[in-house]
Structure 1
């Protein structure tokens, strides 16, 4: 099985657990004399089984990520960490540029000469350039990660 397939299975198992959780909660109590729509104990047992399989799958994915070398980016785990931080950095820089530019702010422009003028405390154009460079870096590392996901076999 390829790593990408395991990641899809992990997502499916996570969704399945959430669905089972919701069904367990709705069936956990019922009125006296009524029969619950589903057997909460059976659903709980099924959730436990899915969670056990999910734990095994996550362990295998993590082992594979740690053992897969992506060259200049280190291991796949290193690349994932780098991508996550790049996304956060992009968000911070974009938010800073938006705030400095007054984007989304109502009434940013002056209506009258007597109103106070708002000035940018940060270089908006420079921040936009940084955001563009970060977005490019995110795309590049994401392509390498996705390629590895489809080329690497899942470890046992």
Structure 2
């Protein structure tokens, strides 16, 4: 199995766990004399199996990311770089939004606001960070489809 496939399976598994949780909550109690829509014991068994599968997938993905070379580092390092690029881009973008807010003044006595940052420079920074993020993400995605998932033993 390729790493990209494991990432898709992980997302599906997480969705399944969330669905099982909702189904369990709906079946957790009923009125006296009623039966739950689904058997909670069966749902708990399915939940335990899904969580065990998720644990194995996460272990395999983490091992693969840590052992896969990416440029002069590992795929784990590239993922950390991508995450921090996105964080930095979001902060700068929010700063541009906050500094760019125009307030309409109807009279001269209303308070006038001025930007305290160089909006154009920060927007250029946002654009550069966005480009770097897209390029890095594309490289990571390509590598995910080329990399075989490292198998780890299933221990519970």
- Counting only pairs closer than 5 Å after superposition, residues 1-156 of structure 1 correspond to structure 2 as 1-72=1-72, 74-102=73-101, 108-156=103-151
Question: Per-residue displacement from partner, 1:96-127 (whole Å, max 9, x unpaired)?
Answer: 1111111xx6xx13222222321110000000
* TM-score, normalised by the number of residues in structure 2: 0.93
Question: Per-residue displacement from partner, 1:76-105 (whole Å, max 9, x unpaired)?
Answer: 111111111111100110111111111xx6
Q: Specify the SS of the correspondent of 2:69.
A: coil
Aligned-residue CA RMSD (Å) = 1.0
* TM-score, normalised by the number of residues in structure 1: 0.93
Distance 1:153 1:82 in 2: 22
- Structure 1 moving runs of 4+ over 6 Å: none
Q: Which runs of 5+ in 2 are unaligned?
A: 152-156
Q: Specify the SS of the correspondent of 1:49.
A: helix
Q: How many residues align?
A: 151
Q: Specify the SS of the correspondent of 2:131.
A: helix
